[in-house]
Amino acid sequence: WPTLNNPNSKLKNILGWSGLHKNFNKITGLSVSAAIILLFWGGNLAYLSLLPFIVLALILLAKSKIRQKKFLHDLPPALEAITKSLKAGYTLNQALELVAQETKPPLQDILKAVNRGISLNLPIDKILSQIKTQVSLPEWELIHQALIIHQQIGGNLIPVIENLSATIRQNMVINQEVHAATAAGRISAIIIAATTPALFGVLWIFNPSHLSLMYHSTIGRQMLFAAIILQISGFLFMRKIATVKY
C-alpha cells in the first residue's frame, strides 16, 4: 500500500492507513476465533460474538486517524527536503528516493510508490491519480492538482513544491486553531459518553444486587449488549458533530 494498479476499495484504503494490512489475515482470524467461541460456548451471551468485529473496526479507524495525522505532520518537511534536493541538482526521481529513505511510514510508503511509478515510466498524472484515490486526503489532492498543472504548463518545479509546503503548513495551523476552538464540544462528548459506564461501575461496587437482573436474566443481558452498542454509536455521532469541516 499504496498500489499503482486499479484503485483499492474503501476497506483496503482503511487497512492501508492503519498499517495493519500485512497482518490483517492474522487479526481477522483471531477475531473470528473469538466470535466462534462466544457463539457456541457463550450460551445466552452468544450475541456478544459481534463484539470482536466491533472492536476490530474501532481499532482500524483509530489507527488510521493516528497515521493520517503523522502523514500530515511529516509532509511539509518532506516537501522542503525534496526542494533542497532539486536545488542540489538531483532529478525528481532521485529526490523522492533520497527523501523516502529519511522519512518513516506512512509517508515513506507513499513516496516509494510515487518513485516506483516514475521508475516504471508511468505518466505522473496516472501515478498521482491512482495514489490520490487511496490516500483520500485534501492535502494530497492539492499536491496532485499542482503537479498536474505544472506538467501541462511547464516551468520550474522548485517554486511549486515550496508553495505547496507553505500552503499545507498554513492549513495545519488553521486546523490546529479550529481543533482548539472545538475542544469544548469534544470534551462534552467524552464526559457524556463516560457518564453511563462510570455510573454502572459505581452501582457495581456499592450496590451490585441492583444490577443483578442485567447479567442474570436473558432480557437483562440483551439490554446490556444494546446499551453498549448505543453508547459506542452515540459517542461516535457526537464526535462527528464536534468535528468542523472547513
DSSP track, 115-136: HHHHHTT--HHHHHHHHHHHH-
Predicted pLDDT at 9: 64
What single DSSP character describes residue 103?
S
Predicted pLDDT at 77: 92
User: CB within 8 A of 15, min separation 6: which ones?
Assistant: 1, 21, 24, 60
What are the backbone angles phi and psi of residue 187, rounded to the nearest 5°? -65, -40
What is the chain's pLDDT, residue by residue, as a tens digit (246 residues)? 566 565 556 767 777 787 776 777 777 787 778 777 767 765 555 566 677 788 888 888 888 889 888 998 999 999 999 999 989 988 878 888 888 888 888 888 888 888 888 888 888 778 888 787 778 888 888 888 888 887 788 778 889 899 989 999 988 888 888 878 777 777 887 888 888 888 888 888 888 887 777 777 778 877 887 888 888 888 778 777 766 665
